[in-house]
Structure 1
Amino acid sequence: MTLSRLKPLRRLSHHLHRRSLAVTAAAVRQDTTHWAQTPVVKVSPAAESLFHISVDISDSPELATSYTKAGQYLQLRLQDPRTRPAFFAIASPPSITASEGVFEFLVKSIPGSTAELLCRLQKGDVVELSPAMGKGFDIDRISPPENYHTVLIFATGSGISPIRSLIEAGFGADRRSDVRLYYGARNLHRMAYQERFKEWESSGVNIVPVLSQPDDSWKGERGYVQTAFARVKRTFSPRSTGALLCGHKQMAEEVTSVLVSDGVSSEKILKNF
């Protein structure tokens, strides 16, 4: 074989060797994750294609101590080695985890995914969890409540999961003059946590459901969250306003654009995806 033909082969061999090392290194990094085996306590419908899932972590106190702020998430994997680990936001507030020894999740069942298999589990089935990750919602950036009278919250679909944790953990909503949650879903059948709305409102959060495909009887906001918010006459003071967003990327980008154009500091717009 000529030298000119050997050079491309050598380059290919070197490329494959580097790729093999990269794959091996990635596998090692994944293997360093601490996994705790935990039993499923409950799987129940939350809305169309959405499920409440509770997992008992009482025998894994290190999981509870890792969860300190609303908005954190973790990795979950099933016993089936053919499935990949998946990331899920923790829906229950840290106080519930500490007192009851459970993690609660709101999971969207997507065909062919780990989430779909998770939603099919039964009480007593075992899953493996990593410790909680991420910094969560940095509420200190919009505190104290007396200085940030207005907090605007935006969520779509299962993005309401960490928002539930935030609301039930408490962030001084009752000490602010205007706290609004714009919560978007296709219709009421797709909207989870409706049974919690009264409790959330009693804590100081005004809920604005926004439906993109409602039936004819719907009298509330229609369309998308970002368009519903854009239609509202905004009278808040930008300097005393903060915002929290969780959901579709397009929603977050468009809402952020509107808020920044209104003078709200980007540092006061907290995002969680």
Structure 2
Amino acid sequence: MPRSWRVLVAALLTIVGFLSQHFRYDVKNEFPSYIWQTWKNGPGSSGFEEVKGSAGSWDRRNPGSIHRILSDAEAEELLKDLYNPFPEIIEAYNALPKPVLKADFFRYLILLAKGGIYTDIDTAALKPTSVWIPEEYQNETIGLVVGIEADPDREDWHQWYSRRVQFCQWTIQSKPGHPVLREIIATITHETLRLKAEGKLDDPDLSVIEFTGPALWTDVIFSHLNGPQCPDRRTLPPQVTWKEFTGITSPRMREDVLVLPITSFSPGVGHMGSRPTDDPMAFVRHEFSGSWKEEKK
């Protein structure tokens, strides 16, 4: 292994190790009742009316949950408190040059520390979160719930999507300390600080999807499913790939991850097997308003 790769692996393992000690993961615990969202200057600020209905749907469907809609400033202060022992993570968060990059990083950071559900402000809850995990899996040890964003069964899929099966990260449910979150936080932190040191963070060719978005998210999930940390690895095929999840119409569990079909978090898109929003498996509707693209005011 080249020295540069040894240094990279050592740096990642160091961050992952410290995070695992600080944010303990116990898959037997219940999912926390938090629902996390962010909106620039908070619910009382300009423009919130555009997303008030969708944001309110989470309260209407889940009256017992603790729903937090944080302003950018509140999110930053919360992360400073939660990650005070990890100055390199705070440095990486502050160094990210675009709101979308910080929004991506925030969802992983808040779920690792506090758990619950993160969902973009332009998503609407179609059903209570209590039905996301079907009855046959209620007694299983599930630590992470993800949905399929894309499953393009066509030869030119790579022209439209980054991965053959791509997991969405506009809505995620997790227990605190989940290993997937540790891994993606360590990766983003290391890469951000490396690019900062090299003066490349403002590179216009930097891919959000690959750097902090669903491509990286998908890769880290598959890495977890294939990694040595999985205690039941011997019961699975030699390699967990996209073929495990393509075309699924009902939830599928692998290790401690429950994968929901494309209809669950991406209903009504009209292709890739996505069913209408009134389908029993349709849980979340994403409005794709692109509010994250706007600069902070």
Give the TM-score, by structure 1 length.
Answer: 0.27
Structure number with greater CO (CA < 8 Å, separation at least 6) is 2
Structure number with higher strand proportion? 1
Q: Which has the larger radius of gyration?
A: 1
* TM-score for both structures, normalised by structure 2: 0.25
